[in-house]
Structure 1
């Protein structure tokens, strides 16, 4: 292989009719990422679960995860500068492990994000239903009507140009983040007279009981930062914006949640916080907010929790739509999903398709008698595992890509080899924990866990098989896999 072969290779670019467009800066991109994890939902719903498993080491777990995901980001950012492609993990896995693995990764991504996003309609529905009945003394409307309402709102916004979604997400993120910050301030201020209870936190240790499941639940709070590369065509100066937004998002998410977890410890006491979390997981945040700031603040928090769920769903829908758009642009999915709105420059058909899918599911599952409390942990847990598995595969792809490229393009060993291998080992450990604890992850039975685990791995393997079929029967389509609108420095030989 000559150095010329490994140099920049220009692939056919999309026509303007198939090119997404936007004008997001670092702030908007970071807020879109932060919205994915829904800060108020994490503070009120997920951190009490984490405290139940880890107690006073919860903030330390976020610190450890932040460090490890920053290491992942080193190779991720380096890859984003080398593979200048809006395909995200789909493009990265293709570049490192070949088109079959890349298509398998794309199937995982699309499945994962579509499933994660479906956590929102049932959770939003039952939360708003309870607020209307218990706080406003209003009528008891079935939750699925509220669920259909949120699907319509997010789909309308996702249909539009990404800049509108970015403005909405930025506004909601500032409001809900302010509520968490107020909770933190009052918690630390109140703890001043109760220092004897212990307001410090401890770092986790490998022998801690519940460490595995705690890491598993906490790592999901970071999902979304990897989507920065998805918006390459829709941000200003992507070469600078994407790396900055990625690092700021990882550090910001980690510190924000670490401080929020510490605030719980400051209020309840290091010796008591785990016991309180075990006995009052669901209402821990709202009861503490009422005691600290007042009932009106707690009720306002409930309202902002609803907008937080909406923002999270919108962020996820935007990412899922762009994976669908990429696959359709590469002719793997029906070409209609790859259409760009002529005026709004958005993947409007893919956005509508995902919204329609969520809307149909919101109707079908209640008709089958499935309770919303059962739906959202299954959707969130199974989707999160698919994305985690994809991140694990991506870290291997980054390592393999730069290892093979070193023969003619030697670069920083830390960025191209050490960091990707460290993240590969760490994410491999978390993936192993996910498989071991999958029933807890989806709050389901072992049989249900086996079904969803099998489905997830079958998606990846099915993508590989489909790519191999395309290679023999439709070579022109096979050649497009992972390469839409691409200008990359890598015509390396296929791994598969």
Structure 2
């Protein structure tokens, strides 16, 4: 070949049979444990979560919010036992796509891959609208600048993240690490000042409590909190782009899960300490949007609060970049397997990145932004629907993956340093837990997307149709295109 841009189609031998995968469809990077953990943390957008999601969670959970984060942390640590063991047994790139294929077969694997791809694209699409609203308000109110239409800001952030995702993963990792460190500093300052300025007995004290299964709001609280942990799949998605994956992936997985859980649990305790256990739910409900900002202005003054607003916008950008990187790698894996157009499997000759898939995700977001703006859809109506529907897709995938891990090790046992029964018990517990949370998501889907009954039916039907459609399409491939079917799950054939 004379071209320096590679395509998955070059894997076919001259006789038309499939040849082993080559470096032409291999990504490359040099990420370490710290950069990988920061990429996972960026997915949940820490400052956005503490300023925006946590006050909503406090409305539903009140004094039980820290315990809910700790419960989710425990459950995800349990899930990680099988997840990490699976990453050693199934070393194919592709993340959950490869795991579900190995455990439940190629049809379920393809269905899971479509859930992941569309789910991550939807979750990421929360960011342009939210970024646009935040920046537009800051420019007009704080800077007395022009009132520029929101879609220009949205298209601007899409261009920035697409440029970064187009390049080598190490560039994204450096940007994400820098932004995450700044965000963590702001949240830690908030935590410390909240504890220092706590109301004590006059506001009802700290008054932490454990959640009760009889509490009608526990389901919604779990749904709002579980999305803050999404993104840890990145530890296996980036298998080809990290240093020493056998050591880096397990360490980054456990550090990310435990670190995220403790980080948000402490922030929830800080809110309760400042507002008081007896008042926290009422205060969060009365001033959900401005709770964090007003607390910071009271604690540290307007300058620090304004800095936090700027970092809130970079937090949204970092989250969007992290999600775009993951979505691009799912698109890349499906293109390598010849499910999606093969041009999406091109690897940049210099950056060794899935640049075509990253560009495709960015163009899809840009097109959706233009269409919705032409239809005069308010931006504040876009991000809850996008985030909520995408969260449900990934949550459903987590449940399916838990079942796949259990089935995989039930068939062949744990061939490693972890006892087989430990892996099986961990996988069974996580499958039961995520199955329960998925049921709660189905039951409360309208609240998850903040939408109408019609939207609920449309998006829930679409989500299940993705998995079923992938399953049926894989069966079609098995009959009509066995060479493509053999590749599913990033198999070397």
Matching residue of 1:34 = 41
Alignment of 1:12-31 (within 5 A): 13-31=20-38
Matching residue of 1:131 = 138
- Superposition deviation, residue 447 in structure 1: 1.1
Q: Could you list the runs of 5+ residues in structure 2 that have no partner in the other structure? A: 1-17
Matching residue of 1:354 = 361
Matching residue of 1:178 = 185
- For the Cα contact (< 8 Å) 1:200–1:262, is it kept in 2? no
* 206-215 or 371-380, larger mean C-alpha shift: 206-215
Question: Which SS does the other structure have where 1:205 is aligned?
Answer: coil
Matching residue of 1:366 = 373
Matching residue of 1:222 = 229
Matching residue of 1:61 = 68
With over 3 angstroms needed to count, the CA separation of the structure-2 counterparts of 1:407 and 1:130, relative to structure 1, is closer
- For the Cα contact (< 8 Å) 2:85–2:414, is it kept in 1? no
- For the Cα contact (< 8 Å) 2:48–2:312, is it kept in 1? yes
- Superposition deviation, residue 261 in structure 1: 0.6
- Superposition deviation, residue 484 in structure 1: 4.1
Matching residue of 1:108 = 115
Q: 2:50 aligns with which of 17, 30, 43?
A: 43
* 290-299 or 401-410, larger mean C-alpha shift: 401-410
Alignment of 1:75-474 (within 5 A): 75-191=82-198, 197-406=204-413, 412-474=419-481
* 249-258 or 12-21, larger mean C-alpha shift: 12-21
C-alpha offsets along residues 378-432 of structure 1, whole Å, 9 cap, x if unaligned? 0000001000000000000000011111399996234421000000000000000
Question: Which SS does the other structure have where 1:225 is aligned?
Answer: coil
Tell me the distance in 1 between the aligned counterparts of 2:453 and 2:432: 27
Question: Which SS does the other structure have where 1:133 is aligned?
Answer: helix
Tell me the distance in 2 between the aligned counterparts of 1:434 and 1:142: 34
Tell me the distance in 2 between the aligned counterparts of 1:408 and 1:228: 21
Tell me the distance in 2 between the aligned counterparts of 1:268 and 1:364: 42
Question: Which SS does the other structure have where 1:132 is aligned?
Answer: helix
Tell me the distance in 2 between the aligned counterparts of 1:315 and 1:409: 31
- For the Cα contact (< 8 Å) 1:87–1:484, is it kept in 2? no
With over 3 angstroms needed to count, the CA separation of the structure-2 counterparts of 1:129 and 1:202, relative to structure 1, is same
C-alpha offsets along residues 303-323 of structure 1, whole Å, 9 cap, x if unaligned? 000000000000000000000
C-alpha offsets along residues 77-131 of structure 1, whole Å, 9 cap, x if unaligned? 1100000011100000000000000000000000000000000000000100000
Q: Is residue 2:480 matched to residue 1:482?
A: no
Question: Which SS does the other structure have where 2:238 is aligned?
Answer: helix
What's the Cα RMSD here?
1.6
Tell me the distance in 2 between the aligned counterparts of 1:408 and 1:24: 27
Matching residue of 1:491 = none
With over 3 angstroms needed to count, the CA separation of the structure-2 counterparts of 1:277 and 1:193, relative to structure 1, is closer
With over 3 angstroms needed to count, the CA separation of the structure-2 counterparts of 1:314 and 1:133, relative to structure 1, is same
Question: Which SS does the other structure have where 2:148 is aligned?
Answer: coil
- For the Cα contact (< 8 Å) 2:409–2:420, is it kept in 1? no
- Superposition deviation, residue 154 in structure 1: 0.1
* 139-148 or 284-293, larger mean C-alpha shift: 284-293
C-alpha offsets along residues 271-292 of structure 1, whole Å, 9 cap, x if unaligned? 0010001111111111111111
Structure 1 residue ranges (4+ consecutive) displaced by more than 4 angstroms after TM superposition: 192-196, 407-411
- For the Cα contact (< 8 Å) 1:326–1:484, is it kept in 2? no
C-alpha offsets along residues 109-160 of structure 1, whole Å, 9 cap, x if unaligned? 0000000000000000010000000000000000100000000000000000
Tell me the distance in 2 between the aligned counterparts of 1:85 and 1:428: 26
- Superposition deviation, residue 193 in structure 1: 5.6
- For the Cα contact (< 8 Å) 2:199–2:205, is it kept in 1? no
- Superposition deviation, residue 13 in structure 1: 4.4
With over 3 angstroms needed to count, the CA separation of the structure-2 counterparts of 1:269 and 1:12, relative to structure 1, is farther
C-alpha offsets along residues 213-241 of structure 1, whole Å, 9 cap, x if unaligned? 00011000000012210000000000010
Q: TM-score, normalised by structure 2?
A: 0.94
Matching residue of 1:494 = none
- For the Cα contact (< 8 Å) 1:329–1:484, is it kept in 2? no
Tell me the distance in 2 between the aligned counterparts of 1:410 and 1:68: 21
Tell me the distance in 1 between the aligned counterparts of 2:481 and 2:68: 48
- Superposition deviation, residue 203 in structure 1: 1.7
Q: TM-score, normalised by structure 1?
A: 0.94
Tell me the distance in 2 between the aligned counterparts of 1:126 and 1:278: 21
